Structure 1
C-alpha cells in the first residue's frame, strides 16, 4: 500500500467509470472497487448506508470494513485482504458476518478479483458483496447460509455460466452424539463444525448448512486436489475431537464433490450427482472424498446433460421412459409364470441410455419416487393384459430404498393397486441388499404391511453383499433371487454348485422360494433343475422383451407359453 496519498482527479474519474461498469453487471449485489495504488475505494451507497460506513468514497476501506466484520470471522478476512495487496492472491471468494448500522449481523458472500495494468502490476481490486440475510436463506443454528441459499447459488452459477466446484460433507453417526450427549450437545457440534468450516474455507469459497448434519462448500477457485487437501485437513482436525463438556468427542466425516462446467443442467441434477458421490464416500469408501465424474458420454455430451434430460422427462409425462419384461419360468415345467419389469429410457439425442447409467444417481433425486409410482402403475396395467390370457401371471417390480424410506410409500402402493384394479396376490416387489441402509424396524413394518394385503416380497441379488443372510433371517421374504454371478461357472465349478445348494437350504429354513437369475445355457438349466429351485430367469429363456411379444407368444401357444428346449 502507498498510504493515503490523495488520489489525482484523473484516477478518481477512471475509478468512477470502472465502478459504473461493475454496477451494470452487479445484479442484486453491492459493488465495490479499489484503486490499489492509493488504497482509495468507491462502494455501493446502499451498502454504506445499511452498514453505517463513512461514505461512498473511502481511503483504507478494507480496514474500515474489517471493523464491521464479526470478530470470529475477522481473522480470515484480514489475511485474505493482506494476500491480495501483497500480490499473493489474485482475488477472493469468502463468506462472513457483517454488522449493520442497527448492530445486527448479516451473512455476506464477498467475491472479488485483481485487475492488472498493461505492465502486469495490480491496479484495481473490485467485486461484489451479496447480503444473504435479506433473502431469508440463513440457518439460525450455525449462522451459515442454508440449503435454500445453496440452491440459489447453484442456479446463479448455471445462469451466469461460471464454473465451480461443490462439496457435500457430512458427520458420520451423528445420531449417536444426540443419544449419548443430548440434543443441546448435538447442536453445539453442528455450530462448531459450521464455524470451523467457515474459518478454514476462508478465502476459497462459501459454506452452507444443509439438512441434518450435512454441510456444503461452493468454490470457484479450488481444483479437486485442492478440495481433497481441504477435506483431509478437516478430517484430521475433527478426528482429534470436538469439546463436549469435559470431554472430546471424535468425529468422522464423509464427502462427495462435483465440478460444474456443464451449464445445460439444473440445480437438482447437480445435487443428485453430488449426493451420489456423498453416499459412495459414506457407504463404500470409509469416508474418503469421492468425486462424481462426468465420464458417461454420448457424442461427447457429459452425463449431467443426459441426467438433466432424463429428469425433465419425468416432468414431461415420463416421455422417453418405457418398460421391458423379462420372463420368469417355472423351474420344473419351464412354462411362463411371471416377468420382471425393467425400466428403460431413450430419446432422439442420446438414444437408449442403459439404466445402470442413470438409476443409481436418479434414485437420490426427489423426483424418483414419482417415477417409481409410474413404473408400478404401468407394470400393473400391462400385467392385467397378460392375465387375460394367463390369469396366474405374477409381475415383479424393483423398488429403491429411496421409495421404501418414504412414510407414504405403502399408501401409494395400495392406491395404485386400487386404481388399476390389480390383484395384489399377483404382485411381487423386489428389494435389493442395499436396503440394509434403511432402519430394519421401518423395513420390517413396510414388508409386513404389504404382505398382509397379499403382496409378495423378493430379495433381489441374493448373495452379492455381506448382509444377505442377515436380511433373510430378520425379514419376511417370499422369494430370494440368486444373482447370476453365482451360476456363471456352475457347469465346471463344483464350488458354485455347492454354494447354490447352500442358498436353497437357507431359503427353505426361512420358508422362501428360490429364483435363479442368469440362466444362459441348457447345461446350467439341467444342473439347477436337480436342486430345490422354484423358478428360472435368464437369456436361455428370453431377453427382456416388449409387452406385445409376451402377449403374442401366449396367444400362439394357446394360452401356455412354454420355453422348454429340446
Structure 2
C-alpha cells in the first residue's frame, strides 16, 4: 500500500512537470483521493491561502470563490470528480488576500488512475485582473465597491440603512431608443440620486438598472423621505437628450447594525423588500422588517443560519409529507413534500420565515435540488407499496429559470430511479411573476418529459384565467383563504365557478385547506378531484404515511 510520503512525492513530481509546461502561470493540483491541494507559493500568497499544501483543499478553495459563482463552481467540480468532464477552462471571481475579487481563469484536465477514475485534477491559474470598483457609465462605485463597503460596515457593527432601487422597463427603453440613450438615462438617474442623497450617504450602480445608497447618518424615516422625493422626480421625468423621460422605480430598504450574518444575507433580505415593492406595492418603498415575531436583527441572523446550513449540505433540513386524497373515495392518491428546518437557537422554524427571502437567492437552487432528491428517495419507497402514488414537490422561481433545471431533474431521477411520470411540480405563487412566455415554454417542456404541473394558490395575487388557458396545467390548487372563509359572501361562488371553469378547460382541481367536516360537506358536489387539509391529515413523516395509509 502506498504510504503518505510516497503519495506526496508523486504529487510533487507531477507539480514540477506542470510547472515546466505552465510557462510562468500559477499551477494548481488537487489530489482527489487525499483531498490535498498543491499550489504555487506565489498563488497561495496572492489568494491568502494557508500555504502551498492545503488539506481539504476543495473546501478551502470554495471559500475563496465569489458567493454568486460557488454554485457553478460546485457543479463543475462534481462533473470533474465524477468523470463526467475531463478537461476544463473556467472563469470565476476569486477573492484575493486583501479581500478584493479578481477574475481568475482555471484551465487544465483530469488525470485518471488505472481504473479510469479521477486521480488528480491539475492545471494553471491565470489572474485576469482585479475587479474594478467604478462603474464606467455612471462613474459611481459599482456593486463590487458596494459589497466591500457592506462587508466593512457589518464587521465594524456600524448602524446603517440601505435602499436598493431600480428602474422599471429599462430593456424597453433600450430597445426603443438605443443603448446610448439608455446610458444617458442611467447617468441622469445617478445624478438625481447623488443630488438627493448628497453627502449623507454613498450611491452605487448595481447590476442592470439598479442603484443602491448606503448611509450611516440618516434614519430609515429620513431615507424614506428622500426615496419618495427621488420616486416623484423620476415620475415627473428626467431630462435626457432634449426629452423628458418618465421613469417608474421600485425600492426596498433595510436597517442593520452588525450581527452574526454576512453581506449575502443582507443582500437577500434587501432583494426581498425590493421585489415586494416592485410586484405588490407599485414602487412604494418597502422596509424589511423581518419574519413575523422577530425584529430585523433576529431575522437577519435566522436567514444567515439557514444560508450557512444550505452550504453545509442542508444538515438541519428534513421533509414531512401532507397526504392528498381522492375527493370521492377519500383514498390516498398523492403526497406533498413540505420543508422543515430546526436549529438549536431558533428551534423549529416554518418555511414562511425564510423561504420568501431566499426564493431569489442563488443558494435556493441548491436547497431546491436537495428537496427534490430527498423527496424522490422517499417517494420511491412508497411507490413500491403503492405504484400509482404521485409525489408533489414545490418548485421555486430560481429553479424554474435555472439553465441546469432539466439536466438536474434527469440526473437526480436517474440516480434515484424515480419515474418522472409520478412527479408533480407545484408552481408557487412567486413563479407566476416570471415572464409569461418563458414560464409557458418551461411548463410545456416539463409536461413533455411526463412531469405533472400544478398551479398553487390559484385565484390569488397575479393568477388569472390566462394562466389556466396558456399553461394548461394538469392541476390547480385554489387559494386557501377562499376555503377557510367559505361562508364569507362570494367565496362559495368563486370556489364553485373556478372549479367548473378549470374542469371545462381540462384541468383537475385540488382543494387544500379542508380543515373540518363543515367545509368537506359544502364542497362535496363541486367538480373537485382531490382534497387536502387538516381534516384529513397534517404533514407527517414517511413512516407515519406508511403506517396510516398504506
TM tier, shorter chain? Answer: 0.7 to 0.9
- Is 1:346 aligned to 2:338, yes or no? no
Query: 2: distance between equivalents of 1:466 and 1:506?
Result: 18
1:496 is aligned to: 491
After superposition, residues 33-432 of structure 1 pair within 5 angstroms as: 136-294=132-290, 296-297=292-293, 302-432=298-428
SS of 2:315 mapped into structure 1:
coil
Query: 2: distance between equivalents of 1:244 and 1:494?
Result: 51
Of 297-306 and 462-471, the range deviating more from structure 2: 297-306
Shift in Å at residue 434 of structure 1?
2.9
Query: 1: distance between equivalents of 2:498 and 2:259?
Result: 49
1:532 is aligned to: 527
Shift in Å at residue 414 of structure 1?
2.4
2:444 is aligned to: 448
Query: 2: distance between equivalents of 1:423 and 1:137?
Result: 49
Query: 1: distance between equivalents of 2:459 and 2:484?
Result: 14
Q: Would you say the 8 A contact 2:483–2:513 is kept in 1?
A: yes
Query: 2: distance between equivalents of 1:146 and 1:176?
Result: 23
Query: 2: distance between equivalents of 1:136 and 1:527?
Result: 64
Q: Deviations over 1:343-380 (max 9, x none)?
A: 11111111011111111111121111111111111111
TM-score (norm 2): 0.74
RMSD: 2.0
Shift in Å at residue 298 of structure 1?
6.2
Query: 2: distance between equivalents of 1:218 and 1:489?
Result: 44
SS of 2:370 mapped into structure 1:
helix
Q: Would you say the 8 A contact 1:364–1:402 is kept in 2?
A: yes
SS of 2:227 mapped into structure 1:
helix
SS of 1:529 mapped into structure 2:
coil
Structure 2 residue corresponding to 1:542, chosen from 531, 537, 544? 537
TM-score (norm 1): 0.72
Structure 1 residues not aligned, in runs of 5+: 1-132, 560-566
Shift in Å at residue 495 of structure 1?
4.1
Q: Would you say the 8 A contact 1:480–1:514 is kept in 2?
A: yes
Structure 2 residues not aligned, in runs of 5+: 1-128
Query: 2: distance between equivalents of 1:159 and 1:298?
Result: 22
Q: Deviations over 1:401-436 (max 9, x none)?
A: 222122322322222222221111100001134323
SS of 1:352 mapped into structure 2:
strand
Of 541-550 and 409-418, the range deviating more from structure 2: 409-418
Query: 2: distance between equivalents of 1:165 and 1:268?
Result: 15
Query: 2: distance between equivalents of 1:283 and 1:480?
Result: 22
SS of 2:186 mapped into structure 1:
helix
Q: Deviations over 1:46-86 (max 9, x none)?
A: xxxxxxxxxxxxxxxxxxxxxxxxxxxxxxxxxxxxxxxxx
- Structure showing greater radius of gyration is 1
